[in-house]
Chains A and B, each alone.
Chain A
Amino acid sequence: MDVKKYNLKKVGGWLIALCTLLLLMIDLIAWPQIKACRIGVPGFFAVEAGLFALLVFYTVRMIVREKAGKSTALGNLIQIVAKYEFLIEQLVSRDFKIKYKRSVLGVFWSFLNPLLMMLVQYVVFSNLFDVKDPSIRHYAIYLLCGIVIFNGFNDCCNQAMRAITSNASLITKVYVPKVIYPVTKVLSSSINIVLSMIPLLLVTLIYGLFRGLYISWAVLLIPVALVFLISFAVGMGMLLSSLMVFFHDIEFLWGVISMMWMYATPIIYSVGLLERHGAQWLANLMQFNPMYHYVTFMRTIIIDGCSPAISEYLICLICSVLMLAVGGAVFHKTEDKFVLYI
């Protein structure tokens, strides 16, 4: 049985090509925002070139070190993916299949669920309670964006949280890098997030015909928003799944925290509303809520039809990277002890 390996040169090439494409797209669509940003156009390009150079440097370093027979963190990661590619594929497809296996409508629930939620909340919050802020345009779409992003994230976390404990029988018998379990759970839930973009865009399209909301080129930035969100979820998933092994209380605690988090995120209300009610400090605090940034990112793309401000990209990037680092560190530090506790 030979171990499958990727050609690092090829993978590196793809990595660089993909990032180039992504950056070019951002440059193109976010041109007005680039011109308006604080550091100016040359400053922006300097930062962008710096990030790109860093990527190229690491990729080249990885390839060079591989040739010299030494390993790098990135190279190791890529080879783990290569070695366990088939397992990852199987686990992701299992989770996805299982989710709707015994339901009649099957995968349509991925579309229906956010739509129905939106409908209920729209009726409740635009008729029963008036939390609408006059500054919010297109409240239905505003709600839908928030619901899709937050529920997607919440679903990822709930699935990933039990990744280690529910696979206990395997972990104690076969050696597989344990990080595969939470990551595949997040990935299979991410398929749902990606699928829920279809009703989001469809509803926006139909709604827009009547209310004058048009989809613009900015929707090409949706993948950027999803990459930020999913990597944040992966970090959170790693953190939760490893904590869960040691303290089963996390399961119940997270139920409360995620609800708090949902209300702390402007899904049904807006930050403007907080300000109007004199809760300026809450509005200021909102800056520290990563979910607020992801939700706002999505709304800017869909409702405003333009790219978010450049600072938003940076904040989202930092949140995702930070969460990945924290989750990864905690997971790595505790994974050897999992077997003893599950």
Chain B
Amino acid sequence: MEIIKDDNILKIEHVSMRFRMANDRVTSIKEMVTLLLKKKVEFREFWALKDVSFDVRRGEVLGLIGRNGAGKSTTLKIISGILKPTEGSVWRGGNIVPMLELGSGFDYDLTGHENIYLNGAILGYSKKYLQSKYDEILDFSELGDFIHVPIRNYSSGMLMRLAFSIATVVNPEILIVDEILSVGDENFQKKSHARMMELMNGGTTVLFVSHDLGQIRSMCNRVVWLEDHTVKMFSDAAEVCDAYRI
């Protein structure tokens, strides 16, 4: 797909995110009351993001780099709508599917078959879509007849394979990838790595977080460099990667 300069699919405008950290997270009424009586409920303000703006063009792969705690995950959560920004706004021109942390939507008492549908529904797929992709998921996961067994009986490798297979039969307009996943034994690792590459080069818009500069340089069109909770640099991949390394 050709990337056109002003054809944005996502616009992040002056987004700031403030967290209020109570001295201790109060989770019981008793604590709350005693603290209130002592007037000890103080909030420490913490800005996880300060005035972050960038845009994503339709069809491009946009990289996000930065050190731990720079605000990458917070940015992704705001983009996907999980967190509401304190200030600023996000404009979305398409549906967003996050690449789930593997297995986070699983129910261990259900069979693999049932979990495919449950997990797919959580990711926002329609029943029809899942039915049409079911065989593909099953094939890719190499689970065979085990698909009709409750997944609490799976080995961890089987679980990962199933989770990966569900997570990657996506067809969203915007895909969020937090590190490239490769799981399982050597054979499956190769297969899953190839699948990820195929997904990311397949013409959908991708937001890609990684600590591997090599990957970022080879896959991304443009890169946002976050540092100290704000955008330090936002430009073409090669340029940002060169600056980041120094």
How far apart are A45's CB and chain B's nearest CB, in angstroms? 44
Given A3, A90, A246, which contacts B118 in the complex, CB threshold below 8 Å? Answer: A90
For A97, list chain B residues within 8 Å (CB).
Answer: 109-110, 114
Question: Which size class do A's interface residues fall under?
Answer: 20 to 34
CA separation between A270 and B126, bound complex, in Å? 51
In the complex, the answer to whether A175 meets B82 with C-beta atoms within 8 Å is yes
In the complex, the answer to whether A87 meets B122 with C-beta atoms within 8 Å is yes
In the complex, the answer to whether B110 meets A86 with C-beta atoms within 8 Å is no
B124 at interface by CB-CB < 8 Å: yes
In the complex, the answer to whether B30 meets A249 with C-beta atoms within 8 Å is yes
A9 at interface by CB-CB < 8 Å: no
In the complex, the answer to whether A172 meets B82 with C-beta atoms within 8 Å is yes
In the complex, the answer to whether A340 meets B82 with C-beta atoms within 8 Å is no
For A10, list chain B residues within 8 Å (CB).
Answer: none
CA separation between A246 and B26, bound complex, in Å? 8
> Which residues of B, 104-142, contact A by the 8 Å Cβ criterion?
104-105, 107, 109-110, 114, 117-118, 121-127, 129
In the complex, the answer to whether A98 meets B129 with C-beta atoms within 8 Å is no
For B117, list chain A residues within 8 Å (CB).
Answer: 90
In the complex, the answer to whether B27 meets A246 with C-beta atoms within 8 Å is yes
A281 at interface by CB-CB < 8 Å: no
Which of B52-60, B94-102, B184-192 makes up part of the contact surface? B94-102
For A102, list chain B residues within 8 Å (CB).
Answer: 109
For A89, list chain B residues within 8 Å (CB).
Answer: 121
Given the contacts A1-B95, A94-B118, A170 and B28 also touching, CB distance less than 8 Å? no
In the complex, the answer to whether B29 meets A175 with C-beta atoms within 8 Å is no
CA separation between A249 and B34, bound complex, in Å? 15
Interface string of A1-39 (1 = CB under 8 A from B): 101100000000000000000000000000000000000
How far apart are B49's CB and chain A's nearest CB, in angstroms? 14
For A174, list chain B residues within 8 Å (CB).
Answer: 80, 82, 98, 100, 105, 122-124
For A336, list chain B residues within 8 Å (CB).
Answer: 84
Given the contacts A90-B121, A174-B80, A174-B123, A98 and B109 also touching, CB distance less than 8 Å? yes
CA separation between A253 and B28, bound complex, in Å? 11
CA separation between A89 and B114, bound complex, in Å? 12
CA separation between A330 and B121, bound complex, in Å? 27
How far apart are A100's CB and chain B's nearest CB, in angstroms? 11
B32 at interface by CB-CB < 8 Å: yes
In the complex, the answer to whether B82 meets A249 with C-beta atoms within 8 Å is no
For A87, list chain B residues within 8 Å (CB).
Answer: 121-122, 124
> Which residues of A, 77-99, contact B by the 8 Å Cβ criterion?
86-87, 89-91, 94, 97-98
For A341, list chain B residues within 8 Å (CB).
Answer: 25, 27
CA separation between A101 and B114, bound complex, in Å? 13
CA separation between A57 and B149, bound complex, in Å? 52
- Which residue of chain B lies nearest to A253 when distances are taken between CB atoms in the complex? B29
In the complex, the answer to whether A1 meets B104 with C-beta atoms within 8 Å is no
Given the contacts A97-B110, A173-B104, A336-B84, A1 and B122 also touching, CB distance less than 8 Å? no
How far apart are B46's CB and chain A's nearest CB, in angstroms? 11
How far apart are A21's CB and chain B's nearest CB, in angstroms? 29
Sample 29 A-B pairs with CB under 8 A, ordered by A number. Answer: A1-B124, A1-B171, A1-B172, A3-B95, A87-B124, A89-B121, A90-B118, A94-B118, A97-B109, A98-B107, A98-B110, A101-B109, A169-B105, A170-B105, A170-B122, A172-B77, A172-B82, A173-B82, A173-B98, A173-B101, A174-B82, A175-B81, A176-B124, A247-B29, A247-B32, A249-B30, A336-B84, A340-B19, A341-B27
A residues neighboring B (CB under 8 Å): 1, 3-4, 86-87, 89-91, 94, 97-98, 101-102, 169-176, 246-249, 253, 336, 339-341
The 10 A-B residue pairs with the shortest CB-CB distance in the complex, in nearest-first order:
A175-B81, A90-B121, A87-B121, A169-B104, A249-B28, A86-B121, A336-B84, A90-B118, A86-B127, A249-B29
B residues neighboring A (CB under 8 Å): 19, 25, 27-30, 32, 77, 80-84, 95-96, 98, 100-101, 104-105, 107, 109-110, 114, 117-118, 121-127, 129, 171-173
